[in-house]
Amino acid sequence: MNTKWGELANKLGTVAEDIVAPNIPRIATDVFGIGEIDDFSVLRRKRNALDSGRRREFEAIAVSKTHFVLNETKATPKIEYIDKFIETLDEIWDWFPEYREKTLLPIFSSLYIPEEIVKYLTRKSIFAMAMVGDTMEIINIDEVPMDTA
């Protein structure tokens, strides 16, 4: 039974990712207005440029001439997950040095994000993306300036 619960929990996580990922290009172009997408990847596996022994997976990225959108998705948003994402943001150029000159737009996504979590993300200059009606939207777009994210 524990195995079945584990499989169900994993599937719930991928359901959120499956809903979020197709929305990233639309959010990048229509909401952020970053122009044409040159690179869009889901579940991008990458080696660290400074330490080739380190590898990791990035849930979704979108890159234009001027911007680098990085998305992290969790089925259940928690402060500890956001803090781990912040650690990733602190070393993001070690993973993607080729995009260092671009403006980074970090997004933390879930199907539903409680207000206290949205406030925490906003304080950390991270965009919050959740379901609004029948699609995903950035729910703190007016509170996180694009030039300081």
Q: In this predicted model, what pLDDT tens digit does every residue of 122-134 receive, in sequence order?
A: 999 999 999 999 8
Q: pLDDT value at position 4?
A: 67
**Neighbouring C-beta atoms of residue 71, cutoff 10 Å:** 25
Question: Which band of pLDDT confidence, cut at 50, 70 and 90, is reported for residue 7?
Answer: low
Question: What is the pTM assigned to this prediction?
Answer: 0.88
What pLDDT does residue 108 have? 98
What is the spatial distance between Cα 61 and Cα 85, in angstroms, rounded to a whole number? 14
- Residue pair 11/57 in contact (Cβ under 8 Å)? The answer is no
Per-residue pLDDT for 96 more than 90? yes
Residue in the block written with tokens 């809903």: 19
- Judge contact between 71 and 12, C-beta under 8 A: no
In the predicted structure, residue 148 carries a pLDDT above the cut 60: no
**Tally of CB atoms within 10 A around 28:** 26
The pLDDT value recorded for residue 75 is: 87
Q: What is the mean pLDDT of residues 30-58?
A: 94
**Region 87-101: what's the mean pLDDT?**
96
